[in-house]
Amino acid sequence: MIGAGNNINLMLGSKISRYIVVIALLILAVLWVFTSSITDDSQAGFREREAGYRTVAAVSSVIVLLVFSLLLFMTVKQDRISAARRESEELFARAFINAPIGMALVSPDGRWIRVNEQLCRILGYWELELLALTVQEVTHPDDVDVNAYLRRQMLAGEIENYSVEKRYCHKSGKAILCQLTASLVRDSQGKPVYFVSQIEDITERRQAEDALRLANDFLERKVDERTSELMAMNGELEALNEELQRLTLADGLTGIANRRYFDEYIEKEWRTELRQQKPLSLIMADIDFFKSYNDTYGHQSGDDCLTTVARTISNSIRRSTDMAARYGGEEFAVVLPYTDLDGAMQVAETIRKQVEDLRIENRQTEGGYVTISLGVFSMIPSAQESPVSLISMADKALYQAKHAGRNRVMTGSRDMIQPA
């Protein structure tokens, strides 16, 4: 189309050029005839004006050439503008017709001016059927006013385009969810001519999005349920682990710490006090004449006695860092971190007195009740020694307490407190 327009312009240009040359020659011929017909008498005067006539002829020729050149330029420019407009309109028409989405030109009063095949396919109408209807007639009743405000804004020049989701009515009666994008074309005076509407069917996309959202919601619920179940199971496992830990570290009969926990704890505290160079004390205790008590009152009474004494020893210590344990048989141990010998002796005497005050019958003892003997030792740990040293010295003190008559507290070197 553009090449053809250029050929036409060239043809028009060559014709106008020939016309200009012919007119210039005619002007010169008229001037020549006029000068030839003048008499001899007048020729003298005419020759005087000959130079002026020639100047007029030349100026006239130039003016004619300029006028026709201007006409030629305007003609060529107009032809090029028209060709460009025709090409633009053809491109728009091809894009309009072949668009993969619905396209329509809509009048400002809401009537279809032109529709493409895809829009007819979306709405289920033949082209002539659709053109006979208004936009409102194929709009879902609930969505008639969806874009009314935006249309008014666009007509008022407040916005250039807009995009909204809107439902249309298919010829069969079903609702079609579409994405509407609209812009407004105005004439040279700014008067609205028509809306350009792009209408895309998003029904399947929305259904897929809804299905995906439902699937995500379902999965989230399942994850939350499973998470809650796992948290509950985790809580149960933690409780079981705590119970297992307690059972692992607690004595099965008395409920206080067992020998295994005692060994771990005194080793840990030994390292701590070694690092800080603080005193660590140990009380070793043994129920007096327990074998005779067991033989006299039976094993069940013996177990009850062990449990009662263990609970009394455990209740006699107050600090969270202090620890009472069943060392073995009827023997118990109390670890007292950051405690010197005087403090440990006071704790030991408290234990001895509280056990005696239980008044558990034992005819094998001097006073007729269950009593306890205790050995105490305190030291600041050193790198040359180990917890075995502390245990050994406390155990020797316990032996001295028993050898000295039982029901008493003794340290490794002297009898600190006599029974009341």
Residue type, 367: G
Catalytic residue among 200, 273, 330, 356: 330
Of 143, 10, 128, the residue nearest 79 (C-alpha): 10
Which residues, 6+ apart, have CB-to-CB distance to 142 below 8 Å? 167
For residue 20, the Cα-to-chain-centroid distance in whole angstroms is 79
Residue 405 and residue 371: Cα distance in Å, rounded? 11
Residue 47 and residue 52: Cα distance in Å, rounded? 9
Tokens of 233: 């199971």
288 neighbors 372 (Cβ within 8 angstroms) = yes
Pairing of strands 323-328, 409-411: unpaired
Q: What is the DSSP letter of 82?
A: H
Residue whose pair of structure tokens reads 């620890």 in the numeric block:
323
CA distances from 99 to 55, 113, 117, 274 (A): 65, 17, 9, 87
Angle separating helix axes 203-249 and 259-276, nearest 10 degrees: 90
192 neighbors 186 (Cβ within 8 angstroms) = yes
> Is residue 330 flagged as an active site residue?
yes
Contacts 24+ apart (CB under 8 A), 344-347: 344/281, 344/282, 344/283, 344/376, 344/377, 344/378, 345/376, 345/409, 345/411, 345/416, 345/417, 347/283, 347/316, 347/317, 347/322
Q: What is the DSSP letter of 158?
A: S
3-state secondary structure of 160: coil
CA distances from 409 to 243, 246, 355, 397, 400 (A): 35, 31, 13, 8, 9
Active site residues: 330
